[in-house]
Amino acid sequence: MAIRSLLRCRKWSKSEWLVAAIGIVLIVFSFSVSVDSTSDSSVDRSDLVKLKLSSKAKERGAFCLDGSLPGYHFHKGSGSGSKSWLLFLEGGGWCDTIESCSSRAMTSLGSSSFFEHKVAFQGVLSSDPSQNPDFFNWNRVLIRYCDGASFAGHPEAEFKNETRLFFRGQLIWEAIMDELLSMGMSHAKHAILTGCSAGGLATLIHCDYFRDNLPRDAAVKCVSDGGYFLNVPDVLGNPTMGSFFHDVVTLQDVDKSLDQNCVAKMEPSKCMFPREFIKNIRTPVFLVNAAYDYWQIQNVLVPDSADIDEYWAMCRLNIQECDTAQMEVLHGFRSSLIDAIGEFYQNKDGGMFINSCNSHCQIRESSWHFPTSTRIENKTIAESVGDWYFNRKLVKLIDCPYPCNTSYSIPSVDRSDLVKLKLSSKAIDRGAFCLDGSLPGYHFHKGSGSGSKSWLLYLEGGGGCRTIESCSSRAMTRLGSSNFFEHEVPFQGVLSSDPSQNPDFFNWNRVMIRYCDGACFSGHPEAEFKAILTGCSAGGLATLIHCDYFRDHLPKDATVKCVSDGGYILNVPDVLGNPTMGSFFHDVVTLQSVDKSLDQNCVAKMEPSKNSGFSCQHSLRLLIQNGLVPDSPDLDERWSICRLNIQECDAAQMKVLHGFRSSLIDAIGEFHENKEGGMFINSCNSHCQIRESWHSPTSTRIENKTIAESVGDWYFNRKPVKLIDCPYPCNTSC
């Protein structure tokens, strides 16, 4: 029912379709779907690893910034790797003031309350030998970062600031180490400590502690990825990074965790910079660093404070946009890095892979070991680290200056396609606020040429909240407050400005409207001639709810249509016969009076929450995992593997899933007959595709058409598009 009820209550005459917004229901039949609309479709669902909160933390007084328990994700090793361990310390910057730490405490970087329940293990954490040839079967651990000081803060600092913040990074590190040692790491034969960015710095800080707590005969080494930060002035000559680290060290008493030989010789915060203490590390270390590290370019060399006139605005986002004078500065930054690691280069036990890419944090990404990975001397990072760790050969690789390395291509996110956040100037007048009272916002990329009078609006998804408690928690995240919005986001897929990725809409005015109300928001766009309203998940549902409003506020002669991605949610019972999704949406509708925004013809005929189209599907994590098989009816965990990976389902489970597909096909039956509507319903194990698998050589196809081609054919009336895929597993392009 649900969406079917919403659509049935509309009038489907040809004249209204031509005047009103036309809905193409772009639905991915999801046997398992991710709540994150930006999740990578290449992630094997079986490689999602559950969160575990530390059992040793409370007794050690080890807490995240907000007082919640720290956690980690553990994938057990097997076979030859059963006594080998790899620990990865998550990164995520630092906080240097009470205010910034307080804000951080309301995010996943300061509170385990906001940790994902499962994360994908990729790159150096992958269990796929083709992606991770040397370490795929080791015990692998991702330690979550929630202290804001590279796992090095001390509680004594808490008593100085009269807040409820917990500065316990060092205790978090020690507590999780204790726990892992009790789980078998105390018998390790091989071990690696690694991490990225702030976690890469933490790797260097804690490397010898890691070594000293493992068996003497174990082969123990450390790999720091993007953690070699330089103490250099910014382009205006100001010591931006030095001042920042000084404040971090002072606020959280980090000096107690730093190399004491270094601290005895100089101001403690200088000992946060690897150049000053790496020579004192006894354990073998491998450095992975990009010579043109974009994080350091944007925050150390050219921070916002040093670019008031925005001379660096494009260059700092994309090295390809730099002029000759700017490139000279960046080459100077590279030279500073090469000089800083000069002494370490002579260390016979050390190793390094210093490429000339404009990237950051490479070992958990596809740049670790893929056919398209960056290479130096024809070696990937994975091959280089493996050669060094297993002593197959010496590895001291320093790339030639940019742009000589042809194996480097700008990462999948083109830095020039990052689009800035803008808070709504009309919001206060309209009384339009996020859950916490902050202003709503959007990201706008201006159209050009033939697309200058064409508009595409994308409504962000992100589930919903059904109770005061859940909405209060949500109000302390980016899904309830613009205070936590990213300042810039990449425009990809249907939002991309690359014609090879987005052939029909690349030069349109494109807008991503941020979601911060928890009940499928409403926007107020204006456009001319051509326009599309679209969105994913909760945003896909909002697209259907607000489609006619969008149409009614645009010129009558405009071609206005709507594209809903992953927003068609079914009102079906779970495997035990309980109305899980129905109950959930009833609570959402009741809590926020959503019925006032729903189709009133439908509301007049039935209980409002049924009319809502099952508003905001992703307030539960996964459609199949929470609508059809939520945790509550799977107490015996018979579905635990099948829910994550359809390839692991047995015949009986597949029968249930095929029945779910049949329910979907039945639900859209009436809409299928509408000659103005369109659809692309594939049988893939995915969700929210139009910003991901929109149009690339590896994109899913039906009748040899990508989603982008299908939507383009439909929007421009090149041909009717009513594509329904064959049942799983017939489509080999998934």
Mind listing the pLDDT tens digit for each residue in 135-152? 999 999 999 999 999 999
Model confidence band, residue 597 (pLDDT cutoffs 50, 70, 90): confident
Using CA atoms, how far apart are residues 252 and 168, in angstroms rounded to an integer? 8
User: Are residue 489 and residue 370 in the same domain, yes or no?
Assistant: no
Using CA atoms, how far apart are residues 516 and 539, in angstroms rounded to an integer? 11
User: Are residue 491 and residue 634 in the same domain, yes or no?
Assistant: yes
Name, of 374-388, 421-435, 664-678, the range with top average pLDDT: 374-388
**Is the per-residue pLDDT at 412 higher than 50?**
no
Looking at the domain assignment, is residue 713 inside a domain?
yes
Looking at the domain assignment, is residue 336 inside a domain?
no
Q: Are 545 and 23 in contact (CB under 8 A)?
A: no
Model confidence band, residue 616 (pLDDT cutoffs 50, 70, 90): very low
Phi and psi dihedrals of 87, rounded to 5?
-110, 130
Using CA atoms, how far apart are residues 354 and 346, in angstroms rounded to an integer? 15
Instruction: Write down the residue that tokens 């999780």 correspond to.
Output: 176
**Residue 331 designated active-site:** no
3-state helix, strand, coil in the chain (%, to 5): 35, 15, 50
User: Are residue 368 and residue 447 in the same domain, yes or no?
Assistant: no
Q: What is the pLDDT of residues 222-246, one digit of tens each?
A: 999 999 999 999 999 999 999 999 9
Looking at the domain assignment, is residue 208 inside a domain?
yes
β-sheet with 139-143: strand ranges across: 118-120, 48-53, 71-75, 139-143, 84-89, 190-196, 219-225, 285-290, 351-355, 396-398
Closest CA to 39 of 122, 140, 134: 122
- Give the three-class secondary structure for 55: coil
- In terms of pLDDT, which residue wins out, 424 or 410? 424
Using CA atoms, how far apart are residues 456 and 511, in angstroms rounded to an integer? 6
Using CA atoms, how far apart are residues 535 and 37, in angstroms rounded to an integer? 10
Peptide bond preceding 303: is omega within 30 degrees of 0, i.e. cis? no
User: Are residue 734 and residue 654 in the same domain, yes or no?
Assistant: yes
User: Are residue 601 and residue 492 in the same domain, yes or no?
Assistant: yes
From the candidates 190, 206, 360, 687, give the one annotated as an active-site residue. Answer: 360
pLDDT (average), residues 711-729: 91
pTM of the predicted structure, to 2 decimals: 0.60
Q: What is the pLDDT of residues 571-583, one digit of tens each?
A: 888 778 888 777 7
Looking at the domain assignment, is residue 327 inside a domain?
no
Looking at the domain assignment, is residue 646 inside a domain?
yes
Range of the domain at 469: 1-33+410-734
- In terms of pLDDT, which residue wins out, 29 or 5? 5
Q: Are 121 and 127 in contact (CB under 8 A)?
A: yes
Q: According to the model, what pLDDT value does residue 689 have?
A: 85
Query: How does the average pLDDT of the chain come out, rounded?
Result: 84
Using a 10 angstrom Cβ sphere, with 0-12 exposed, 13-18 middle and 19 or more buried, the burial of residue 663 is: middle
Q: Are 646 and 734 in contact (CB under 8 A)?
A: no
pLDDT (average), residues 530-534: 87
Closest CA to 465 of 517, 525, 392: 517
User: Are residue 11 and residue 67 in the same domain, yes or no?
Assistant: no
Q: What is the pLDDT of residues 164-178, one digit of tens each?
A: 899 999 999 999 999
Phi and psi dihedrals of 329, rounded to 5?
-65, -45
Min mean pLDDT across 461-470, 517-526, 608-617 is at 608-617
* CATH code for the domain of 61: 3.40.50.1820
User: Are residue 675 and residue 696 in the same domain, yes or no?
Assistant: yes
Closest CA to 517 of 426, 432, 610: 432
Classify residue 140 by its DSSP letter. Answer: E
Of the CA atoms within 13 Å of residue 7, those in its CB half-sphere come to 27
The two structure tokens encoding residue 470:
């859940």
Domain boundary among 352, 377, 398: 398
**Is the per-residue pLDDT at 615 higher than 70?**
no
**Residue 360 designated active-site:** yes
Using CA atoms, how far apart are residues 79 and 76, in angstroms rounded to an integer? 10
Closest CA to 254 of 262, 266, 245, 242: 245
Percent of the chain with pLDDT over 90: 49
- CB atoms closer than 10 angstroms to residue 413: 13
Looking at the domain assignment, is residue 323 inside a domain?
no
* Residues near 324 by beta carbon (within 8 Å), at least 6 away in sequence: none
Phi and psi dihedrals of 578, rounded to 5?
-85, 145
**Residue 695 designated active-site:** no
User: Are residue 21 and residue 73 in the same domain, yes or no?
Assistant: no
Looking at the domain assignment, is residue 673 inside a domain?
yes
* Residues near 310 by beta carbon (within 8 Å), at least 6 away in sequence: none
User: Are residue 653 and residue 681 in the same domain, yes or no?
Assistant: yes
Phi and psi dihedrals of 698, rounded to 5?
-100, 5
**Is the per-residue pLDDT at 51 higher than 80?**
yes
Domain count, the chain: 2
- CB atoms closer than 10 angstroms to residue 372: 11
Using CA atoms, how far apart are residues 397 and 123, in angstroms rounded to an integer? 20
Q: Are 368 and 132 in contact (CB under 8 A)?
A: yes
Q: According to the model, what pLDDT value does residue 35 have?
A: 31
Domain boundary among 330, 365, 398: 398
pLDDT (average), residues 300-313: 92
- Buried-exposed string 580-594: b where 16+ CB fall within 10 A, e elsewhere: bbbebbbbbbebbeb
User: Are residue 29 and residue 145 in the same domain, yes or no?
Assistant: no
Q: What is the pLDDT of residues 342-369, one digit of tens each?
A: 999 999 999 999 999 999 999 998 889 9
Q: Which helix (H) or strand (E) segment is 468 a member of? A: helix 468-474
Looking at the domain assignment, is residue 320 inside a domain?
no
Q: Which helix (H) or strand (E) segment is 70 a member of? A: none
From the candidates 197, 438, 612, 683, give the one annotated as an active-site residue. Answer: 197
**How far apart, in Å, are the Cα atoms of 327 and each of 179, 324, 401?**
48, 5, 11
Q: Are 458 and 539 in contact (CB under 8 A)?
A: yes
Closest CA to 201 of 293, 84, 336, 339: 293
pLDDT (average), residues 253-269: 96
Domain boundary among 355, 373, 398: 398
Using CA atoms, how far apart are residues 409 and 397, in angstroms rounded to an integer? 18
User: Are residue 127 and residue 168 in the same domain, yes or no?
Assistant: yes
Closest CA to 616 of 485, 468, 460: 460
Model confidence band, residue 161 (pLDDT cutoffs 50, 70, 90): low
Closest CA to 343 of 330, 334, 352: 352
- Give the three-class secondary structure for 141: strand
Q: Are 627 and 648 in contact (CB under 8 A)?
A: no
Model confidence band, residue 8 (pLDDT cutoffs 50, 70, 90): very low
- Give the three-class secondary structure for 534: strand
User: Are residue 655 and residue 722 in the same domain, yes or no?
Assistant: yes
Q: Are 444 and 483 in contact (CB under 8 A)?
A: no
